[in-house]
Amino acid sequence: MILSTPSAGFLPSRLSTHRPPESQRSHPQNISYKFDQILHKKPSGSSLPLNARPKSCECFDLHQNLIPYGDAWSWQKEIVREKVGLIDANQDCPDTLIVLQHHPVYTMGTNSTEEYLNFDLNDSPFPIYRTERGGEVTYHGPGQLVMYPILNLRNHKMDLHWYLRALEEVVIRVLSSTFSINAHRIDGLTGVWAGNQKLAAIGIRVSKWIAFHGLALNVTTDLTPFNWIVPCGIQNRKVGNIKELLREVDLHTGFQKDSQLIDITFEALIQEFSEVFQLDIYHKTIPSLEFLKQIPNSPPASSGDHRRRLPRIHEKTTISL
């Protein structure tokens, strides 16, 4: 189901509830200084009392890696199983964050319909996965940062409306504070927009109050593959990315490569995610990506026999894009 935007008050401090006119966008100033602040930010001392310090969250940083969707999906489900086991054993269940990019792929939600595919399933341009998240079809590919927070909502707020708005808030803060892009929500839709362009899609799944899947933010993404679908089932609205928005205002940011913009956006996402969810982020190293191959993988629904219909999944709680 699609959740409408609730009233203000679900998050403290800087939560944005104002929705400016779509034609309104602030013109960035001193943006290079802001980038320098993000890239060279030093941790500040906490003034919180010991009993109010944020909880910790392990972060697997793969933001410059292209990870096959099936591997990342299986990895998420394995982590969820571990966390559910901890809860069932009445043990502490900390949070996890995975950040990465994907090889080109289309994903569909639990009850997605094929009417939003502008191609024949027998001739799909990319693999298609039907997953257990909510929402309709979307595209993942290089230049898009995907955040998979695997959070124990018991440690935060057991409210799915609040969680969706919190994920949106992370992106809104990044776009505003780092790039001076006037981002906003749209009533009745989930995601983050700049004018009429959707920059971030959100789709989640919740099992025993463990949330997984997450958000995808278009940074330098090639937008062409979105033309072959109706993204998130939303007609008559565009999809955009940060790079093109900065180009529209003739912004000279100083970065020469897409990878630099990806790095800047990643650092800002981690910072704002930490603030919104009140978490201390610590990076957890991965000795080798080979470990992903040890996790049983689900093949794409469009591989092998393209003629078979995409299966539907009926379990747990889903929230749409």
Catalytic machinery residues: 232
Let me know: does 228 contact 118? Beta carbons within 8 Å: yes
SS3 105: strand
> Which pairing describes strands 279-283 and 144-152: parallel, antiparallel, or unpaired?
unpaired
- Number of neighbouring beta carbons within 10 Å of residue 178: 22
User: What is the spatial distance between Cα 135 and Cα 121, in angstroms, rounded to a whole number?
Assistant: 19
Contact 185, 192 (CB under 8 A): yes
In the numeric block, the tokens 């704002």 are attached to 272
d(CA 292, CA 195): 39
Cβ neighbourhood burial of 11 (10 Å; 0-12, 13-18, 19+): middle
- Are 190 and 164 spatial neighbours (Cβ–Cβ below 8 Å)? yes
Residue 254, CB half-sphere, CA atoms under 13 Å: how many?
10
Which of 208, 131, 200, 141 minimizes the C-alpha distance to 167?
Answer: 200
